[in-house]
Amino acid sequence: MSGLLGRLGEEERGRLRVAREGDAGEPMLATAGGRREVGAGWVFERKLDGVRVLGTRRGERVRLVSRSGQPLHRTYPELVDALEAQRCGDFTVDGEVVALSGGRTDFARLQRRMQITDPARARASGVAVVYYVFDLLSLNGVDVTGLPLRVRKGLLRDAFRFRAPLRFTPHRLGDGAELLAAACARGWEGLIAKRADSAYVHRRSRDWLKLKCSAGQEFVVGGFTDPAGSRAGFGALLLGYYEGRRLRYAGKVGTGFPDALLRSLRRRLDGLVRERSPFCEEVAERGTHWVRPELVAQVGFTEWTPAGQLRHPRFLGLREDKPAAEVVRERPGTG
């Protein structure tokens, strides 16, 4: 074994395996956590508000896929170009695609790119994207997921040339509570805490924790209300989350929708209309229309009420990268 992998110690080389053929598999997912749960032995990365993307290169072929396995290479052709330009011809990386506005990630801006599947239209959209790469899964035909995170990140930094639109995701060491407070003061979404000695596993794990600055998560859209006055499209989306096989009602969101989105989203909702409510409890709203629970909305809010409803919710965008069946209420220890 030569090159970067040849520098590994004997114990670390014993953790290497032959890389799998085909797709990269499911990504490792973080669990919702609290700032008291992280002590020594953790590293902290900025939590990004974007779309999770796995990138693979096998010779001349580059593939980008979402966490659900959807192909994205036609949506982000400039990222394909950047991966094709790397000196290394065989790798799998994990990262987050974001759009930036004023130095902050802007999910609403990214939405303008997420629906495009024509490379020429994507390049002409006027929405520049950045691929923050934070992990290395394979290198030169070797599966490195069994190595500690700190070693994988070192290999990633040395194997790649990070030029726009690719960026290496840095990490910091220190007190998690202090670092989170500093991140929140900068207006960040929060931090991802990761055990420095953890292996990469293709599932959700408590070795990665989400530490958020403010409340917010995904919700399933189970219906909508009629618009009032001069408003177009609809009044509000009716939101829920799964508890086992039951869809629990979490409230409604009526803010955060530009006029054009109200109209386009209403057309999508009309195609999902059903007669009966998908929620397991009664929803006391006027002018309701029920839909098949397939759409997933990203929603920010201040807190949960004692009755289990969202306080001051605001719509941030639709998520195409997360199946509705996976949406649960996020508590410490859940996704």
Catalytic residues, which ones? 47
Whole-angstrom Cα distance, residue 173 to residue 176? Answer: 8
User: Which helix (H) or strand (E) element contains residue 125?
Assistant: none
Residues 6+ apart with CB under 8 A from 4: 139, 155, 158, 159
Q: Are 80 and 97 in contact (CB under 8 A)?
A: no
Phi, psi of 84, rounded to the nearest 5 degrees: -65, -25
Residues 6+ apart with CB under 8 A from 52: 27, 66, 67, 94, 95, 96, 97, 321
CB atoms within 10 A of CB 308: 13
Q: Report how far apart, in Å, the C-alpha atoms of 294 and of each of 161, 242, 247, 250, 321 are.
A: 39, 12, 12, 16, 12
Q: Are 272 and 294 in contact (CB under 8 A)?
A: yes
CA-nearest of 217, 218, 220, 216 to 279 is 220
DSSP 286-311: SSEEEE-TT-EEEEE-SEE-TTS-EE
Q: Report how far apart, in Å, the C-alpha atoms of 239 and of each of 63, 150, 222, 235, 274 are.
A: 34, 39, 6, 13, 15
- Structure tokens given for 1: 């074994």
Q: Is 153 exposed, middle or buried (0-12, 13-18, 19+ CB in 10 A)?
A: buried
